[in-house]
Amino acid sequence: MKYVLLPGLDGTGLLFKPFIDILPKNIETVIIRYPTDKILDYNELVNWTRPQLPQSEFTIIAESFSGYVAYLIGQLNIKHLNKIVFVASFLDNPNPKLLLLSRILPIKTLLKINTPKWIIKKFLMDSKINKQTIDLFHQCIKTVNPVVLFHRIKLISELKGNLPRLNIPTFYIKASKDKLVSKKAELMLIKTFPNIDQYNIDGPHFLLQAKPNQCKNIIFKS
């Protein structure tokens, strides 16, 4: 079994490091990295991802932004796809208020500078997160063209939910202290997958970075 990791908003895959570092050596992972300088919509991201999928049995682990990419891949009826694991993800606009704020603020300018540590800890990670992970976050954001990041935020704001159901085995790992994904968005994802197992971790939106061991124990339990 291989595990395909679909990244969050930055798309670099670099933020998977805290999670990858604690996995047993026999776990084979494939990290998908989205282009840092190309504006692609969700269907184009699926087209980018599909040729990189294994030709043997695999599970998708979709973080945050990539939830809808995973859903679209699930619609393709790929015979080797065993399961989808959603981590703090969504198929609907996760938080209309925050995304409305992003339209008002000069987000393209803000993305060019280091996000203050207190914002990262309060909204994305938690107070116990180490400096290395915060530095990794800054590195990821600086790697991506701000216009690309802004476009991905726009894609999120346009998600509508109310999607056709998919009968595929699914895990949904929810962050109990998630300040970005609303209860409505969580329920919409759960509604879309009849065969879903739900798990709750006491942590922030960036669960794979803040609580990698707890995520590992859930994902590899079966």
Digitized pLDDT (tens) for each residue of the chain, 222 residues in all: 999 999 999 999 999 999 999 999 999 999 999 999 999 999 999 999 999 999 999 999 999 999 999 999 999 999 999 999 999 999 999 987 765 655 554 554 444 455 555 455 555 566 566 667 677 777 777 788 888 988 898 899 889 888 999 999 999 999 998 888 999 999 999 999 999 999 999 999 899 998 999 999 999 975
The CATH number of 2-219, from 3.40.50.1820, 3.10.310.10, 3.10.450.50, 1.25.40.80, is: 3.40.50.1820
pLDDT at residue number 139: 74
Q: Kindly report whether the global pTM for this prediction surpasses the value 0.75.
A: yes
The CA distance from 133 to 147, in Å, is 24
The answer to whether the beta carbons of residues 171 and 62 sit under 8 Å apart is: no
Every domain of the chain and the residues it spans: 2-219
Instruction: Mention every residue, 6+ apart, whose C-beta is less than 8 A from residue 84.
Output: 59, 60, 62, 70, 71, 74, 168, 169, 170, 171, 193
Residue whose structure tokens are 């699914």: 170
Residue whose structure tokens are 């180490």: 130
pLDDT at residue number 110: 46
Sign (positive or negative) of CA dihedral 198, 73, 53, 93: negative
